Structure 1
Amino acid sequence: MEINIVLEELRNQNKSVYNNVFNHFYRGMVLYANNFLYDKDASEDIVQEVFISLWENSGDIEIKSSLKAYLYAMVRNKCLNYLKSIKITDDINLIDLNSILVWEEDFEMISEEEKRILYTQILKIIETFPESMQEIFKLKFVENYKYIEIAEKLDISVNTVKTQLKRAKQKINQAIPLLLSLFSPLL
């Protein structure tokens, strides 16, 4: 169904279209929310709030990109607000990095094979990091250690952990547009 038709049907509160949108996006949105919250129940609650908001505010919706991007942005914002409400801050945007590494919205136009190639290239970038940065990065994003746990394990300060992760994020963020450009002729 074309996006304009879907949006018009949502504005008219067409329950069938709403249910189709819900069924199509719900699971992916819960997984996405869980990358921020690491709490399945809270993630499901956030996504349900998004769909309630979509229904209640359907007449006022203005989507400039895609419905998927709009819904995922709502999930991201609600997750960040939830984290803020429970006093969790992300001063160096590591939550965003984790969500970027697992969220495929920016990559929805490339094939699964191209996604595997992109992921492999990101891993190669990580392999170019200094050994200590690699270890910190893997402890955080592969083994889900907390800053304090990484600091204790490696006998370094929490600030060193944050600094190394910030530098790793910058290196990855610099490389992603270049890597995506490899696929742009295919888009």
Structure 2
Amino acid sequence: MNLILEEIRNQNQKAFKTLFNNHFEELVVYANGYLFQMDSSKDIVQEVYIYIWENANKIEIKTNFKGYLYSMVRNRCFNYLKSIKVTDDLAFLEFNINIINEDVFDSTLEEDKEKVYHQILKIIDSLPDKMRKIVQLKFLHNYKYSEIAKELDISINTVKTQLKRAKFKIIQMVTIILILLQIRQ
């Protein structure tokens, strides 16, 4: 594997393409385990490859190259999660309810808006136990991150990450519901 890095240092595009083809998909899956957003996961992995191509001469690997790739992806995922901090307000739930109120539906479809709202509640109920508990503590009981962390004996970063993942899952499911309702019309 370190031979591939040596070839990339020599600007061997074929070696770089081989590295990309051999590991891109598995690295995207790995990144998606942190982000739960396929597009962002692909972007991060592509950034790692760009960095390797542009900085191959500066890279010194003390272990193995594959481990280095995974470490780079993991670190960029953490940086990405830090950059999109989960907010302290009800923004993600409000976002989903506001989608319903936009011009997606005619005003005559109040029953559809009500259905989607109830679907959001069902989606929250279907979240994994710890994630659901965090969402409930945050948005039903107005706990602060630190209070949730203390209550559940987890870190504040875990609380933020779980809220981010919950937001993504809720948005995905609401989008599917909205599409199905539009198809029905």
Q: TM-score, normalised by structure 2?
A: 0.52
Partners of 1:9 and 1:66 in 2: CA distance: 15
For 1:70, which of 68, 71, 88 is the aligned residue?
68
Contact 1:148/1:158 (<8 A) preserved: no
**Alignment coverage as a number of residue pairs:** 112
Contact 1:150/1:161 (<8 A) preserved: no
Aligned to 2:135: 148
Unpaired runs of 5+ residues, structure 2, are 88-127, 156-185
Alignment map for 1:44-55 (pairs within 5 Å): 44-55=42-53
Contact 2:138/2:148 (<8 A) preserved: yes
1:162 aligns with 2:152: yes
The residue identity in structure 2 corresponding to 1:57 is N
CA RMSD of aligned residues (A): 2.9
Deviations 1:93-139 (A, max 9, x none): xxxxxxxxxxxxxxxxxxxxxxxxxxxxxxxxxxxxxxxxxxxxx62
Partners of 2:85 and 2:139 in 1: CA distance: 23
Q: TM-score, normalised by structure 1?
A: 0.51
Unpaired runs of 5+ residues, structure 1, are 90-137, 167-187
- CA shift at 1:149, angstroms? 3.6
Partners of 2:67 and 2:29 in 1: CA distance: 15
For 1:33, which of 31, 34, 56 is the aligned residue?
31
Contact 2:2/2:64 (<8 A) preserved: no
- CA shift at 1:152, angstroms? 8.2
Identity rate, percent: 45
Partners of 2:133 and 2:72 in 1: CA distance: 26
Contact 2:8/2:53 (<8 A) preserved: yes
State the structure with more CA Rg. 2
- CA shift at 1:158, angstroms? 2.5
Change in 2 beyond 3 A, CA 1:81/1:151: closer
Determine helix, strand or coil for the equivalent of 2:61.
Answer: coil
**4+ residue segments displaced more than 4 Å:** 150-153
Change in 2 beyond 3 A, CA 1:31/1:51: same
- CA shift at 1:146, angstroms? 6.5
